[in-house]
């Protein structure tokens, strides 16, 4: 049944939701899906089209609307996984330098190369993680959400989120491939 109060009914309201969330949804999908960027953009667009069609069934706050969008996006990514198992093992994009906001410290050219190579390895490792684990990393680090925000979205205790994140990071570190592999 449609919500009694459907705050996204009007195009203006939905347009504002889109403006507030398009980059966030894009990054979320990028982290979950892994790329290439064309696929990520397609999924991002599809997320908003699906939300537009379903807007009458949504009622809630701005925060809830963001969670609703991420839920739609997550389902789309999972559907895409199922259809494209083979492609998941293919190489990802050439990472573009303008996709990164580097930390506020000086990088030598060598350090920059190392940074990028580390990221490449990390990205491939993340792609192989279960969606639930990827989602936690994406929310916490790529979207920069606080643990309490994630806890609300995923309806989990904050402590559980923190513990899970720590374990995932340890797992990634421990499984990091040797240089000569």
Partner 1 sequence: MVEKHAPKPEIEDIEELLSSFRPDLRRRFHQRLQFAPWEKDAVQRWHLPTRLADTLHSRIWQTAAVGILLLALVIITLSAVPDLPVMAQNLLRYLRPASSDQIAVPVRVPYPEEADYFGSPQYFSLNLEQAESKAGFVLSKIPAGEFDMSFSGAHYDDDLHRVVSRYTDDKFTLYYSQRKLIDIEEYSQIGASAPVQIVSVRGFDGEFVSGGWKMEAESELLLATSSPGTQINLAAYWDVTLPQQILRWQEGGFLYEILTVGDSNLKKDDLIFLAESVK
Question: Can you give the binding site for partner 1, defined by CB under 8 A?
Answer: 11-12, 14-15, 18, 22-23, 26-27, 30-31, 37, 41-42, 44-46, 48-49, 52-53, 56, 96, 98-103, 113-115, 117-122, 124, 137, 141-142, 144, 166, 169-170, 172-173, 176-181
Start-to-end Cα distance in the chain: 55
Is the Cβ of residue 104 or residue 155 nearer to partner 1 in the bound state? 104
CB of 62 vs partner 1, minimal distance in Å = 16
Largest CA distance in the chain: 60
Burial class (CB in 10 A: 0-12, 13-18, 19+), 73: buried
Least distance in Å: CB of 8 to partner 1? 9
Q: Which is nearer to partner 1, 14 or 155 (CB)?
A: 14
Minimum CB distance to partner 1 smaller for 59 or for 120: 120
Q: Can you give the three-state secondary structure of 19-67, one letter per residue? A: HHHHHHHHHHHHHHHCCCHHHHHHHHHHHHHHHHHCHHHCCCCHHHHHH
């Amino acid at each position: 049944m449609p919500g009694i109060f459907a705050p996204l009914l009007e195009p203006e309201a939905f347009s504002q939701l889109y403006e507030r969330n398009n980059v966030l949804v894009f990054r979320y999908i990028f982290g979950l899906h892994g790329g290439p960027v064309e696929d990520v953009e397609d999924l991002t667009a599809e997320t908003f089209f699906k939300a537009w069609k379903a807007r009458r069934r949504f009622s809630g706050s701005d925060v809830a609307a963001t969670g609703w969008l991420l839920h739609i996006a997550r389902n789309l990514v999972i559907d895409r996984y199922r259809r494209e198992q083979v492609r998941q093992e293919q190489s990802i994009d050439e990472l573009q330098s303008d996709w990164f906001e580097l930390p506020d410290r000086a990088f030598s050219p060598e350090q920059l190369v190392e940074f990028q190579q580390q990221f490449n390895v990390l990205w491939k490792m993340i792609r192989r993680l279960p969606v639930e684990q990827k989602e936690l990393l994406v929310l916490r680090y790529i979207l920069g959400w606080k643990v309490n925000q994630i806890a609300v979205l995923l309806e989990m205790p904050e402590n559980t989120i923190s513990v899970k994140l720590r374990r995932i990071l340890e797992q990634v570190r421990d499984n990091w491939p040797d240089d000569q592999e």
